[in-house]
Amino acid sequence: MVAGGTVLVVDDDEVMRDALATLLSGEGYEVVTASNGREALDRLGETEPCVILLDYAMPVMDGLAFREAQKADPRWSGIPVILITAHHLTAFAARSIDTLAILQKPLSYEALAPLLERACGRERREEEAPRILLTSRRWRA
């Protein structure tokens, strides 16, 4: 197991998925990816993530349908989810998904890092300050 824990990244945008995988691997997390909710359910049978980064709008099975299936299975219902989306969700929709947090795309690592640390039980040292901001289309220093 990697020091940071395992993160399941679920997003149909290949650029976003790969960028998150690269970033999180560099920060000490093991990363498992899936391109939709159905694939993510398969991955849950293969790994034990400490947190799931979940896109809201995806083909095959969207984030809401995945979350409902996840919560219905006692093996996986306790895994916290951070929803990542380009959509503006109403407060009702956000509550119905029942997540640790909802982050708007483009993501900033400064917003994501403390949520990952909280979910995975990892404490950040001062010298580990975030170095990269992440957007869905490009990296920025």
Q: Please write the tens of the pLDDT for every residue from 86-111.
A: 877 655 566 667 788 888 888 888 89
In a domain, 34, yes or no: yes
pLDDT for the residue numbered 1: 42
Domain ranges, residue 99: 6-140
> Per residue in 32-62, pLDDT tens?
999 999 999 999 989 999 999 999 889 999 9
Q: What CATH number is associated with residue 132? A: 3.40.50.2300
Domain count, the chain: 1
In a domain, 1, yes or no: no
- H/E segment holding residue 119: helix 109-120
Amino acid at 76: W
pLDDT for the residue numbered 138: 42
Q: Where are the beta strands (DSSP E) in 1-141?
A: 6-10, 30-34, 51-55, 81-85, 101-104, 133-134, 139-140
The alpha carbon of residue 123 and the mean position of all alpha carbons in its chain are separated, in whole angstroms, by 18
- Contacts of residue 50, defined as CB under 8 A and 6 or more positions apart, other chains included, come to 5, 6, 7, 79, 80, 119, 120, 121
